Amino acid sequence: MNSTSKPVRPPFVLGGPWRWLLPVLLVLLFLAVLFWLPWQARQMETTERQEQLIADTLWVEQTIRFELTRNEEALAALGAELAAGKLGGAALQARLATMLKLGHELEQVRWFDADARLLASSAEPGAQVLRAPARDAAEMARASRLGRYAEPYAGALPAQRLLDYHLPLFRDGRYLGSLVATVDLRILLDETVPWWFAQDNAISLLDRDDALLAKRAAAGPGRGVYTHKRALDLAGASVMLATDSVKSEPRLLPNLLVGSVVLLALGLVASLTALWRHIARRLAAEGALRQQMAFRTAMENSLVTGLRARDLEGRVTYVNPAFCQMVGLPPGELLGKTPPMPYWAPEAMAVYQQRFAAVLAGQATQQFETIFQRKDGVRVPVLIFEAPLVDSDGRHTGWMSSILDISDLKRVEELNRQQQEKLQASARLATMGEISSMLAHELNQPLAAIASYTTGALNVLGRARERGQAVDAGLLQPALEQASLQAQRAGQIIRSVHEFVKKREPQRQQIGIQALVEGIYALIELQALKFYVVLETHIAPDLPCVSADRMMLEQVLLNLTRNGIEAMQDIAPDRRLLRISATHEQGQVCVAVTDQGHGIAPEVAERLFSRFFSTKPEGMGMGLSVCRSAVEFHGGSLKHAANPDGGTIFSFSLPAQAAPLE
């Protein structure tokens, strides 16, 4: 057995007194269920009936509130027309009659002026003045400018209870009076409570002192077993909705007891049979588990991937031989250890502590690279994959890590990076070799001008010396200034070439496309002058900058412009136009180089970006491949498309930064 694995417990065998104690316990459980099940069924039925009563009461309460709200809205519409002076006389009486016809629970609707004098009424004779409680409600409605109910009161008929709703009327902030709608609570119950609910329950409306206001009991009085009481929540009035079910408490059904006995007896026999089968299966499963443990141990010992398990406190609970070999420590020096670990490198201790804090918080990083230190001090770059450890109950108990030694991968990546740098340097030198003749011609002009101006200055000095005259500085200054300008021009060309071909590490910085084009415009112009190509630049204003290495982007732009210029050397001179444009689209800065040359054939387009593939007899086939690698290094993409006016459009896009370059 592996020294890093936990010992396997001996299998538990159900035997001895347990074989007889378990059936006895089942019989006792059977007797307990005989008494418990009917009682539990009764409790469940009681709870279900009470919950159903509450749900139905809520529905009735919403129905009553809906009917009252409908009357409130109708009264508000009438009040708006009265306040605007649009209704009166016969039209007003017809409107009041319509409201009574649509709302059967409405006893009458009256209109009082600001002095509580009756102006109109839907019923004759009606109360000419407001009662004292009603006047208080009207005053409170006037003060709040909102409709308000008054407390219920007795009507003219026996057992009649009425409820007034007062709606204040205003015009331009001036109080005009109030509309009063009177609701008959008994009719309200008859209209809103459905017959099926009234057959099972006695429904009552109560005032704040629990005095009966209205009642509907189609099936007789309730039994007081299932009851519920709920407030109607009326502004200004305290009215409670009470329900009392006519159902009695549930009875214990005899057939339920008989069925329970039969089912439990059958369950007892089935459980005893299943118990013996379970014991046999468990013994077989334990044997298979031991085989699987042995297989897993052999498999883990043969892995080249390091495995490490930690509990929720960060304590190492398991390591395999590959991990021990990776860190150069035996299992005895790793198991049970808590951070800081002996294989943590001192220079990365802060990063380790930060990741360990995340592990304790249950937020471990699933995949990351770091460095381990062997016992002999050698640093080992590793790639770690973290996954949570979950037990059979679904509880998170720790973390399992898979560790890969990526030393060889890092060496390969470093070699590839060095080769890529050499390739880019070779491409830059090849580019400068191609434009060397144009560079010599361009430098010859400022050098010849410098020689001419200095020769003229020397001649002036010589003639002055022969004549014994003083030299006029005004004659020499223009020549010397022109010589200085030509020297600066030559120096700028040489500095551009030096910056372009020198070898250095990639350095990302904020770069504006406008500044990038201006930096190598002299080199692009040298190539364009050779083939009589006209240059155009269209850089969008306020273009965001990009984070990139200036030298690499200059090489990309110079290669693309050189290809475009050379593609137009065989076409008519008036069509030799090269356009450099830059735009901002969907978070990307897009740079396009458009020529009007011969275009790209389909068979050439398939291999256009392949290394060592070129359509030029003297070409190396590395230019476009290097360009694509440089663009992808910055997180962008390089592509080409046919120009509708003839020729080709090469474009590359890079992620834009937050703000434009100033």
- In this prediction, residues 131-143 reach a mean pLDDT of 83
Query: In this structure, what are the phi and psi dihedrals at residue 403, rounded to the nearest 5 degrees?
Result: -120, 125
pLDDT at 590 > cutoff 90:
yes
Return the percentage of the chain with pLDDT > 90, whole number.
6
pLDDT at 559: 83
pLDDT at 620: 39
Query: In this structure, what are the phi and psi dihedrals at residue 497, rounded to the nearest 5 degrees?
Result: -65, -40
Cβ(592)–Cβ(581) below 8 Å: yes
pLDDT at 662: 41
- What is d(CA 618, CA 502) in angstroms, rounded to the nearest whole number? 24
Q: How confident is the model at residue 392 (pLDDT cuts 50, 70, 90)?
A: confident
Nearest CA to 362 out of 314, 427, 329 is that of: 314
**Per-residue tokens: 165:** 């709703």
Q: How confident is the model at residue 429 (pLDDT cuts 50, 70, 90)?
A: low
Cis peptide before 340 (omega within 30 of 0): yes
DSSP 326-348: HHT--GGGTTT--SSPTTB-GGG
pLDDT at 192 > cutoff 70:
yes
Name the amino acid, one letter, at 576. R
Q: Where are the alpha helices (DSSP H) in 468-549?
A: 473-501, 513-530
pLDDT at 426: 62
pLDDT at 575 > cutoff 90:
no
- What is d(CA 100, CA 187) in angstroms, rounded to the nearest whole number? 13
Q: What is the pLDDT of residues 202-231, one digit of tens each?
A: 889 988 888 888 888 887 887 788 888 888
pLDDT at 31: 67
pLDDT at 505 > cutoff 80:
no
* Strands of 367-373's sheet in order across: 316-319, 306-311, 396-405, 379-390, 367-373
The count of residues in the chain is 662
Q: What is the 3-state secondary structure (H, E, C) of 385-445?
A: EEEEEECCCCCEEEEEEEEEECHHHHHHHHHHHHHHHHHHHHHHHHHHHHCHHHHHHHHHH
DSSP one-letter code for 533: P
pLDDT at 448: 58
pLDDT at 491 > cutoff 70:
no
- In this prediction, residues 406-418 reach a mean pLDDT of 71
Give the CA dihedral 540, 542, 547, 549, nearest 10 degrees: 50
**Per-residue tokens: 219:** 């099936």
Q: How confident is the model at residue 494 (pLDDT cuts 50, 70, 90)?
A: low
- In this prediction, residues 376-403 reach a mean pLDDT of 80
Class in CATH terms, 303-405: alpha beta
Q: What is the pLDDT of residues 345-379, one digit of tens each?
A: 787 777 777 777 777 776 777 777 787 878 777 88
pLDDT at 253: 52
pLDDT at 618 > cutoff 50:
no
Vertex 57 angle, CA 163 and 54, to 5°? 145
pLDDT at 7: 47
Do the strands 508-511 and 588-594 form a parallel or antiparallel pair, or are they unpaired? unpaired
Same fold, 10-273 and 506-662: no
- What is d(CA 336, CA 331) in angstroms, rounded to the nearest whole number? 10
Q: How confident is the model at residue 660 (pLDDT cuts 50, 70, 90)?
A: very low
Cβ(106)–Cβ(71) below 8 Å: yes
Domain boundaries, the chain: 10-273, 303-405, 417-503, 506-662
Alpha carbon of 224 to those of 247, 473, 493, 570: distances in Å?
A: 9, 125, 105, 107
- In this prediction, residues 482-500 reach a mean pLDDT of 62
pLDDT at 232 > cutoff 80:
yes
pLDDT at 593 > cutoff 90:
yes
pLDDT at 84 > cutoff 60:
yes
Helix/strand/coil percentages in the chain, nearest 5: 50, 25, 30
Lowest mean pLDDT among 118-132, 319-333, 522-536, 580-594: 118-132
pLDDT at 168: 93
**CATH of the structural domain 10-273, one choice from 3.40.640.10, 3.30.1490.20, 3.30.450.20, 3.30.365.10:** 3.30.450.20
pLDDT at 592 > cutoff 90:
yes
pLDDT at 119 > cutoff 90:
no
Q: What is the pLDDT of residues 7-57, one digit of tens each?
A: 445 444 445 566 567 666 776 776 677 667 667 777 787 888 888 888 888
Which of 8-17, 444-453, 513-522 shows the highest mean pLDDT? 513-522
- In this prediction, residues 608-626 reach a mean pLDDT of 53
What is the CATH architecture assignment of 417-503? Orthogonal Bundle (1.10)
CA R_g for the chain? 48
pLDDT at 499 > cutoff 60:
no
Average pLDDT, the chain: 77
Cα 29 to chain centroid, rounded: 53
What number does CATH give the domain 506-662? 3.30.565.10
Query: In this structure, what are the phi and psi dihedrals at residue 154, rounded to the nearest 5 degrees?
Result: -80, 140
Q: What is the pLDDT of residues 271-299, one digit of tens each?
A: 767 877 887 788 778 878 787 777 676 66
Q: What is the pLDDT of residues 59-82, one digit of tens each?
A: 888 988 898 899 889 899 988 888
pLDDT at 622: 43
Total Cβ atoms within 10 A of residue 484: 12
Annotate 364-396 with b (16+ C-beta within 10 A) or e (fewer): beeeeebebbeeeeeebbbebebeebeeeeeee
Nearest CA to 556 out of 431, 437, 435, 434 is that of: 431
Vertex 600 angle, CA 599 and 604, to 5°? 165
Question: In a 3-state reduction of DSSP, which class is residue 103?
Answer: coil
Cβ(612)–Cβ(620) below 8 Å: yes
pLDDT at 301 > cutoff 60:
yes
Return the percentage of the chain with pLDDT > 70, whole number.
74
Cβ(439)–Cβ(462) below 8 Å: no
Query: In this structure, what are the phi and psi dihedrals at residue 390, rounded to the nearest 5 degrees?
Result: -125, 130
Q: How many Cα atoms sit within 13 Å of 499 on the Cβ side? A: 16
**Per-residue tokens: 631:** 């663009």
460 contacts: CB under 8 Å, gap ≥ 6: 471, 475, 476
Alpha carbon of 216 to those of 105, 152, 185, 212, 389: distances in Å?
A: 14, 17, 11, 11, 64
Cα 583 to chain centroid, rounded: 29
Of 249 and 104, the one with more pLDDT: 104
**Per-residue tokens: 249:** 């408490």
- What is d(CA 177, CA 121) in angstroms, rounded to the nearest whole number? 14
- What is d(CA 551, CA 290) in angstroms, rounded to the nearest whole number? 64
Question: In a 3-state reduction of DSSP, which class is residue 325?
Answer: helix
